[in-house]
Chains A and B, each alone.
Chain A
């Protein structure tokens, strides 16, 4: 073959795709195909897994022009990476969209649900410890732990600062496990609760309606408090609350609708395919990535356990009992986690409707995960000084 190429140098140019092909590329095609399959056939986060899967295919064609980093010939995925991920723009834009979709009313009615959300961030920090024990550096371990925020944009935001080389696997793990919430959470909850606990009914009697003024001032208040505690989190929490302000202000419905639809769809599309473009075989097919996938599952399990056990702890001191399953909704996978837990309650007792409580905790999880992300962002540089 080599002599043939020496004799006909133009063959090298013509056959570069075949010559550069290795088993690793083929394995990555299979992984890309699996992600596309999960999106199309299983409906697992299709808006993200489909573009990620296809981006992985584009990134694993030898000498792919889509990911070229040659000056003057940059591939579009590399351009998108520099324009939207390396500078953290895409996650922030996604947060504006999420904020515009969120309704914080159940959280304002029962602020106590925020405690469950705080407890359900336990998995982040437990996973950071496990990751360091498995040999990861502190910065990488913290970026892996943030998978437990169950919040794709937060994971991408932290990874793009402290673990750029792990961005692809971290994003895939975060979105994959978010879509696997119906598989991961129920067994953990069942292992930690009794049947009678899962059948606890929760009333709605003490809940007052929420005024428009309160809804309007809530996002401003959250930004001011969290911004003062962790200024580094302002980009994340600020964009989330800006999106919500658009919605609750009631005067810019067109902007709110744009954030919820056009912006969300466009940035999700670009984010997904760009992340897929980072999944080149050489960086993805490593034992490190295998460990990240395991640690991602650990993070979700510990998050769920943290929320449930905290609810059980509160029940020891509270006269009105809480269904401990709602503690599990404190992870940010919104609204899937809330729905899964509400369904579980109905399965245990067909007359037990806890959906409103579950969604309230789930919305609080959205805020708590961003606060946790902000704290991680602040503590990584502080502890590595």
Chain B
């Protein structure tokens, strides 16, 4: 296999799981944020 293709496969192998990991952190942090500061009556939607 060509070196460039091997690097491309390695990139996918690293980037996709990292992507989901980062997104999972975003999700958890967003949920926490949403919970920590619930909307009051004065907050407009």
Interface residues of A (CB under 8 A from B): 105, 107-109, 111-112, 114-115, 117-118, 121-122, 125-126, 128-129, 131-133, 136-138, 141-142, 145, 208-214, 217-218, 221-222, 225-226, 229, 367-368, 371-372, 375-376, 379-380, 383-384
Q: Say how far B23's CB is from chain A's closest CB, in angstroms.
A: 4
Q: Say how far B43's CB is from chain A's closest CB, in angstroms.
A: 5
Docked-complex contact A368 and B38, CB < 8 angstroms: no
Docked-complex contact A221 and B33, CB < 8 angstroms: yes
6 more A-B residue pairs beyond the given contacts A125-B15, A384-B7, with a C-beta to C-beta distance below 8 A: A129-B5, A132-B2, A142-B8, A209-B39, A210-B43, A371-B23
Docked-complex contact A375 and B15, CB < 8 angstroms: yes
A-B contact pairs, 19 of them (CB 8 A): A111-B30, A118-B20, A121-B19, A129-B9, A133-B2, A133-B5, A138-B4, A141-B4, A141-B8, A209-B43, A210-B34, A210-B43, A210-B45, A211-B37, A211-B40, A214-B33, A214-B34, A371-B23, A376-B15
Q: When each residue 23-45 of chain B gets 1 if its CB lies under 8 Å from chain A and 0 otherwise, what string results?
A: 10111011101101111100111
Docked-complex contact B29 and A379, CB < 8 angstroms: no
Which residues of B have CB within 8 Å of A371? Answer: 19, 22-23
Docked-complex contact B34 and A125, CB < 8 angstroms: no
**Looking across the interface, which residue of chain A has its beta carbon closest to that of B29?**
A221
Known: A209-B43, A371-B19. A132 touches B26 (CB 8 A): no
Interface size band for B: 20 to 34
CA distance A211 to B8 in the complex (A): 42
CA distance A161 to B45 in the complex (A): 41
Which residues of A have CB within 8 Å of B8? Answer: 125, 128-129, 131-132, 138, 141-142, 145
Which residues of A have CB within 8 Å of B16? Answer: 121-122, 125
Chain A at the B interface: SS class: helix
Which of A122, A132, A218 is most buried by chain B, counting CB atoms within 10 A of its CB? A132
Q: A212, A367, A368, A383: which contacts B11 (Cβ < 8 A)?
A: A383
Docked-complex contact A383 and B9, CB < 8 angstroms: no
Known: A141-B8, A208-B38, A214-B37. A221 touches B22 (CB 8 A): no
Docked-complex contact B15 and A379, CB < 8 angstroms: yes
Docked-complex contact B15 and A112, CB < 8 angstroms: no
Q: B9, B15, B29, B39: which contacts A225 (Cβ < 8 A)?
A: B29
Docked-complex contact B19 and A118, CB < 8 angstroms: yes
Minimum-distance CB pairs A-B, first 6:
A125-B12, A209-B39, A132-B4, A213-B37, A111-B27, A211-B39
Which residues of B have CB within 8 Å of A115? Answer: 20, 23, 27
**Looking across the interface, which residue of chain B has its beta carbon closest to that of A125?**
B12
CA distance A229 to B34 in the complex (A): 22
Q: A108, A137, A384: which contacts B34 (Cβ < 8 A)?
A: A108
Which residues of B have CB within 8 Å of A214? Answer: 33-34, 36-37, 39
Q: Say how far B10's CB is from chain A's closest CB, in angstroms.
A: 6
Which residues of A have CB within 8 Å of B25? Answer: 225
CA distance A131 to B37 in the complex (A): 46
Which residues of B have CB within 8 Å of A128? Answer: 8, 11-12
Which residues of A have CB within 8 Å of B27? Answer: 111-112, 114-115
**Looking across the interface, which residue of chain B has its beta carbon closest to that of A118?**
B23
